[in-house]
Amino acid sequence: MLKNRNLIAPTDFSPEEIGEVLTLAEQIVADPGAYAQACRGKILASLFYEPSTRTKFSFDAAMLRLGGSTLGFSDPNTSSTAKGETVADSARTVGSYADVIVVRHPKEGTARLMSKYAGCPVVNAGDGGHHHPTQTLTDLLTIRHYKGGFDGLTVGVCGDLKFGRTIHSLVTCLARYQNMKFLFISPDELCMPAFVKEELDAKGIPYRETTDLVGNISQLDVLYMSRVQRERFISEEEYLRLKDFFVLTEEKMALAGPNLIVMHPLPRVNEIAPEVDNDARAVYFDQVKFGMYVRMALIMKLLGAEPPEDGPSETCKEA
């Protein structure tokens, strides 16, 4: 049972528990209207101490589509944090109003700290360079939808692997499935951190590091692109030097297999050329939709909510 649990890191849930969330998400995809009142009367608080319009909208839309309500902020300067309130006190206060809290913070460990004081489920929506577990659930649902599962896949992650928390979370989570292989494609300056590689080494999971996307794209089942994040660089000059290191184009896609899927957590800058959007193997905009559905499923699981037995209302059916 996932009721009243926290989700701070993707490994907080077992593969079987993740499977429960993904299965419910697939059921919601098939019939969203049947879940339109599943969380009626429940409140989600979204506390975004760091900007992320897409993730916040996704959580808010998920709760609203479940018939619940939302409150929160997307600018900490409009909250009591600006007055010096501690994370623990914020958690206690907001936990007295809400049934589930979603928190995004630039400092690693904040979500876990908040979960100790909130008194309700806390979901990490990104903490510094650590984890972004609901993006991982989104990515897993996308892969499962197009590939039918995870076992035996060769997954390439490309771009900023040093600071890309979505990539860290995805690789860590996929490492729990059978016969996985990874290809880490990045500039030397932005290579995968040691803590991720050490985990793979400990499990005997094969991976290779390379700077060559063109020569390796044909080997991949999944290509996960990421942007070079300006906000993670101290030096503007260093950012400008590396940001265009890899750009996925039609010419490079022509070298890939017919069953490749290309993913991206978004927002993109210019690491995927716009013409790639028309390629059927580019699934990153479907990924956005899956993100809302998987968050609906997660919210339901954490709150112990069930869909109404009589199915969707007439209003929802008409919609």
The residues annotated as belonging to the active site are 54-55, 83, 104, 132
Distance CA 183, CA 146 (A): 20
Angle of the 284-303 helix axis to the 133-147 helix axis, nearest 10: 120
- Within a 10 A sphere around the Cβ of 248, how many other Cβ atoms? 24
Distance CA 228, CA 231 (A): 9
Taking alpha carbons only, the member of 194, 189, 190, 225 closest to residue 207 is 194
Distance CA 265, CA 126 (A): 13
3-state DSSP helix/strand/coil percent for the chain, to nearest 5?
A: 45, 15, 40
Q: Residue 293 is which amino acid?
A: Y
Backbone angles phi, psi at 315, to 5 degrees: -60, -45
Distance CA 175, CA 266 (A): 23
Question: 302 with 3: CB under 8 angstroms?
Answer: yes
Question: 119 with 92: CB under 8 angstroms?
Answer: yes
Taking alpha carbons only, the member of 272, 305, 317, 297 closest to residue 13 is 297
